[in-house]
Structure 1
Amino acid sequence: MTIRELTEKDIPAFYHMMCLLDEETEYMMYEPGERRDPEGFRTRVLEALSGGDFLLAAESKNGELVGFLWAERGKMNRIRHTAYIVVGIRESYRHRGIGTAFFRQLDEWAAASGIVRLELTVECPNGSAKALYEKNGFRVEGIRPKAMKVNGSLIDEYYMGKIIGEPAE
């Protein structure tokens, strides 16, 4: 398994992986089949790559993208010191240390880039993701009641944050 920064040439494979993640889990934003704009996705990724965001990919031994971490840096001056994190790992590759490797590299990037605060949301029923985030220094800062609608049910989300340089508990 290789963890590396995502590049422009990865965009088609990245889009394909995101569509597969949409099919495999109820914990990502898009529902199965809802992601229908590969050109818009390409534009968004290119803007992220040129705009100071941090995108990592996990690549299997056969060259398939199987996971990602996207840290979207705040664009306005007042939040430029923050980054919002989204992570996804294909189901058959979970619990193999990919998430931990992502967060190790994220911390290095954040420290080198002047990021002080990392933040993310996670559906409350997603206990394994919450545990990964807590293991990597994130703390629950609040709950967003009824933030997601999944299969007709309203689901709460944890809002989690991490201050760079603070020790994990």
Structure 2
Amino acid sequence: MVIREIETRDADAFWQMQFQLDKETKFMMYEPNERTKNLELIKNIIQKAIDGSNLLLVAENDTEIVGFISVQRGLPNRIKHTAYIVVGIRKAFQGKGIGSEFFKRLDLWARQNSITRLELTVMSPNIIAKHLYEKYGFVVEGIKKNSMFVDGEYVDEFYMAKLL
């Protein structure tokens, strides 16, 4: 397993991984087959990470991308010290230390880039992810009631953050 920064050449493989992830879990934003294939948008996101504005790491098994952590820094001056995180790992590769490695590298990047507040949301039923975030110092700051609509039911999300 290799954890590395994303490269422009990864755009299609990155989209494919997210498309598969949408089919495997109910804990991501998109439903199966809802994600549209916009490689220009993905390349733009990748370029911002390459330029150093944001962070986008991928987990690679052989040549297949199987997980990611996306970290987007706040743009206005008042929130430049913050970053918002999205994490996804394909089901077959969960529980193998990928998430832990992502969060170790996230902390290093945040400190190197003067980020003092990290934020994320997690659906309340996603206890495994919540425990991972808590292991790396995130705390629940609030609950977003009825934040998502999944399988005909409203689902709450925990709003979590970590101060560095």
Mapped pair 1:54 → 2:63 = no
Structure 2 CA distance, aligned partners of 1:110 and 1:121?
A: 18
TM-score by length of 2: 0.95
* Residue 151 of structure 1, CA deviation: 1.1
Structure 2 CA distance, aligned partners of 1:38 and 1:162?
A: 32
* Residue 32 of structure 1, CA deviation: 0.6
Q: What value does the CA root-mean-square deviation take over the aligned residues?
A: 1.2
Unaligned runs of 5+ in 2: none
Once the two structures are aligned, what percentage of the paired residues are identical?
A: 50
* Residue-pair matches, total: 163
Q: Are the equivalent residues in 1 in contact too, given 2:6–2:46 (CA < 8 A)?
A: no
1:84-163 matched pairs, under 5 angstroms: 84-163=84-163
Look up the SS of the partner of 2:83 in the other structure: strand
Unaligned runs of 5+ in 1: 165-169
Q: Which residue type is aligned with residue 42 of structure 1?
A: K
Structure 1 CA distance, aligned partners of 2:31 and 2:154?
A: 14
* Residue 157 of structure 1, CA deviation: 0.2
Q: Are the equivalent residues in 1 in contact too, given 2:70–2:85 (CA < 8 A)?
A: yes
Write out per-residue CA displacement over residues 12-60 of structure 1, whole angstroms, 9 at most, x where no aligned residue: 1101000000010000001111111323333343344436010000011
TM-score by length of 1: 0.93
Structure 2 CA distance, aligned partners of 1:159 and 1:7?
A: 30
Structure 2 CA distance, aligned partners of 1:96 and 1:48?
A: 25
Q: Which residue type is aligned with residue 18 of structure 2?
A: M
Aligned to 1:167: none
Structure 1 CA distance, aligned partners of 2:59 and 2:20?
A: 14
